Amino acid sequence: MKVALDAMGGDHAPAVNIGGAIQALRLYPKLQHLYLVGEQAALEAECAKQGLDLKDKRVSIVHAPEVIGMAEPGAKTVRKKKQSSISIAMDMVKEGKADAFVSAGNTGAAVAAAILKLRTLKGVDRAGIASALPNEHGQCNILDAGANPEATPEHLVTYAVMGTAYAKHVLGKKNPTVGLMSNGEEDEKGTTFTKETFKRLKETPGINFIGNVEGHDLFERELDIVLCDGFLGNVVLKTAESTAKAVSKWLKSEIKGNLVRMLGAVIAKGAFKALKQKASAESYGGSPLLGVNGVVIIAHGGSTATAVRNAIRVGMETVDHKVNPHIEEALAALAVSKTPAQA
Amino acid sequence: MKVALDAMGGDHAPAVNIGGAIQALRLYPKLQHLYLVGEQAALEAECAKQGLDLKDKRVSIVHAPEVIGMAEPGAKTVRKKKQSSISIAMDMVKEGKADAFVSAGNTGAAVAAAILKLRTLKGVDRAGIASALPNEHGQCNILDAGANPEATPEHLVTYAVMGTAYAKHVLGKKNPTVGLMSNGEEDEKGTTFTKETFKRLKETPGINFIGNVEGHDLFERELDIVLCDGFLGNVVLKTAESTAKAVSKWLKSEIKGNLVRMLGAVIAKGAFKALKQKASAESYGGSPLLGVNGVVIIAHGGSTATAVRNAIRVGMETVDHKVNPHIEEALAALAVSKTPAQA
């Protein structure tokens, strides 16, 4: 298994990327080779600083002189900066030099480069990002979390099939549940768009569609995939993340205002730590961009070294469990099942 | 000031409604009369139980034999159940017998009854609910929080004007900031719909439009009004509420797993209480339905007695500060300012 890592991507690059690389090389024997794609001198310096030995045969730097900034417009910049770490690493996947690409960099650019260079899988019109939220039963994946702000009902049906394949084969769910994000759980809730999507999902064989879902379902229900367009998915993820942060911050500030409470918090600190672990994106690490002809894992821009390491793990598992062939197979079966009805 | 309270509305009716009524009568001397609208026998029994003296000249029961359930379809049920507490109380506002209507009942039904009976203000095509989230600088109001799932850019411009009037005159903000909910803060982020709305808002005089906003802005930024269609607003509110609940629940379960941590939590419990107070919908209590020709306050279905009491307060303040005349005035000014450009 060979992985190409965008070593320059993310808010804390290249430090966390190299830190994540060190962890991955130590923890994952299946990782035969890790390509650190980015600016050679900067990466050599960071490797020296963190003690990553570049004489190790399992790791090497692939020089990419250009960097795509986190705030640059994705598609446009990918076309302009042909020597960026994202472009060069994506080419490596295209040419089969790497089995998976992992990036904590500019999401728009990674998605645009993936579509441009890898193209979509057979039967897929739109790729979608599956991003995990912690849930009482494990994790709940928002799909699409932001690859494409707008979508049609047909796109959401494809997301449902792709998400089902991912949850089955990577997350080990036997019969993954799929919900449609809406403004209420009743069947008749929603917009023209969600109502049409609801109808299509009801008619789609091979998925376990449980109907409309809302806020509390994300955390309490056994819910594997939540479908929405990338605009809504992105807003939901950011809202959840920001709320969790605000709640922790306010609780800490209430505690700090009072010496007795501070003592209590010191005693209870293990609980805060455990919660942080559970609620953190760190342990999921990476969100697969489903639907492209190659394995591309998008990590959070604010990733830590552990998050980068886990994104590499998710990439390896996605390759290992043959998610893309499973998606193509499921979509082909769906196309066959549709034919008689349309005839 | 006379207020009509839907005494049968909400998940915990009529107990919390009568509890809220008792608090409001005690705390707000401006409240000249409170009408408890609902099933006479049930309300008499609850008043007796909680010690609300119906001989008090400031309170009386208005009998409404029908109740609209929380899960019934709003508009349809309002047309069918003409003797429901929502219908009868709304008629009292229409006929001038009450200055404001407060309901923790079926939101769809309250909105439908308001539109049907009160109609919209001059210049308003669509009403919108302004719901508060706690924010480091006070509160951030999501508008529309769910009166209408779908909206046009023009509707969001009207929401901006209405929200500005509300924040100025009820919340006491001098120059309220208005943001557009999007999937990123950059001007070019969003969907076809939000981009068109962004352009219109930029051109609208009399509002302090600060551009696109996202998750963390809701809690950290000095942000008074966040615009979105009712579908998105509803999803954002429910996601934030559910996330806060999940974080607290998980923290408590981590604490309970360990005796030492439990001791710490007992010592620090004031902080948890203070946070609950801050994060709870209770202290905001009610969300005004802006744009209808009358004052209608929508309270959370899960309202406590304190939330009901605060919703009554919001209703009184909305009447007192003449929000509706201010909205009509602002929209008239906007129409005048538009005329030369269109000519």
Average pLDDT over residues B1-25: 97
Q: Quick one: three-class SS letters along B163-182?
A: HHHHHHHCCCCCCCEEEEEC
Q: What are phi and psi of B235, to 5 degrees?
A: -65, -45
Which CATH architecture describes the domain A130-279?
Answer: 3-Layer(aba) Sandwich (3.40)
Q: How far apart are CA B296 and CA B112, in angstroms?
A: 12
* Beta carbons within 8 Å of B117's beta carbon, 6+ residues apart: B87, B90, B91, B93, B94
Q: Do domains B2-124+291-327 and B132-280 have the same CATH topology?
A: yes
The tokens describing B6, both together, are 């839907």
- Nearest CA distance, A330 vs chain B (angstrom): 30
Q: How far apart are CA B167 and CA B296, in angstroms?
A: 16
Can you point out the beta strands (E) in A182-327? 208-213, 225-227, 286-290, 295-299
Residues in chain B: 343
When mean pLDDT is compared across A225-234, A281-290, B245-254, B258-267, the lowest value belongs to B258-267
| Residue A325: predicted pLDDT | 97
Q: Are B208 and B177 in contact (CB under 8 A)?
A: yes
Q: Does A73 touch chain B (CB under 8 A)?
A: yes
Is the pLDDT assigned to residue A58 strictly greater than 60?
Answer: yes
- Nearest CA distance, B90 vs chain A (angstrom): 25
Average pLDDT over residues A244-261: 80
Nearest to B149 among A190, A235, A260 (CB): A190
> Could you please report the per-residue DSSP string of B12-77?
TTTHHHHHHHHHHHHH-TT--EEEEEE-HHHHHHHHHHHT--TTSTTEEEEE--B---TTS-HHHH
For B212, the 3-state DSSP assignment is strand
Match 């079966």 to its residue by tokens: A333
Measured between alpha carbons, how far is residue A244 from residues A218, A304, B152, B221 in Å?
14, 18, 31, 16
Q: Does B182 touch chain A (CB under 8 A)?
A: yes
Is the pLDDT assigned to residue B45 strictly greater than 60?
Answer: yes
Q: pLDDT over 70 for what percent of chain B? A: 96
Q: Is B125 exposed, middle or buried (0-12, 13-18, 19+ CB in 10 A)?
A: exposed
Best CA proximity match to B69, nearest among B85, B55, B53: B85
pLDDT tens-place string over residues B96-142: 999 999 999 999 999 999 999 999 999 999 999 999 998 888 899 99
Q: Which residue out of A251, A273, A278 would a mutagenesis test of the B interface target, given it has the greatest number of B Cβ atoms within 10 Å?
A: A251
| pLDDT, averaged across chain B | 92
Q: How far apart are CA B288 and CA B167, in angstroms?
A: 11
Mode of pairing for the β-strands spanning B33-38 and B2-6:
parallel
Q: How far apart are CA B115 and CA B109, in angstroms?
A: 10
Q: How far apart are CA B187 and CA A111, in angstroms?
A: 20
Domain boundaries, chain B: 2-124+291-327, 132-280
Best CA proximity match to A181, nearest among A222, A135, A144: A144
The distance in angstroms from the start CA to the end CA of chain B is: 44
Is the pLDDT assigned to residue B145 strictly greater than 70?
Answer: yes
| Residue B83: predicted pLDDT | 96
Under CATH, to which class is B132-280 assigned? alpha beta
Q: Do B183 and A274 touch (CB under 8 A)?
A: no
Q: Which residue out of B106, B197, B229, B242 would a mutagenesis test of the A interface target, given it has the greatest number of A Cβ atoms within 10 Å?
A: B242
How big is the A-B interface in CB pairs under 8 Å? 197
Is the pLDDT assigned to residue B47 strictly greater than 80?
Answer: yes
A265 neighbourhood in chain B, CB within 8 Å: 264, 268, 271
Measured between alpha carbons, how far is residue B219 from residues A157, A242, B139, B309 in Å?
34, 7, 8, 25
Q: Do B242 and A216 touch (CB under 8 A)?
A: yes
Q: How confident is the model at residue A340 (pLDDT cuts 50, 70, 90)?
A: low
Q: How confident is the model at residue A281 (pLDDT cuts 50, 70, 90)?
A: low
Q: Look up the ipTM and state it.
A: 0.89
* Beta carbons within 8 Å of B198's beta carbon, 6+ residues apart: B180, B182, B187, B190, B211, B212
CATH 3.40.718.10 corresponds to the domain B2-124+291-327 = yes
Average pLDDT over residues A313-326: 96
Q: What are phi and psi of A242, to 5 degrees?
A: -70, -35
Cis geometry, peptide bond prior to residue A153 (ω within 30 degrees of 0): no
Q: How far apart are CA B101 and CA B89, in angstroms?
A: 7
pLDDT tens-place string over residues A90-104: 999 999 999 999 999
Is the pLDDT assigned to residue B343 strictly greater than 60?
Answer: no
| Residue A343: predicted pLDDT | 41
Is the pLDDT assigned to residue B50 strictly greater than 60?
Answer: yes
| pLDDT, averaged across chain A | 92
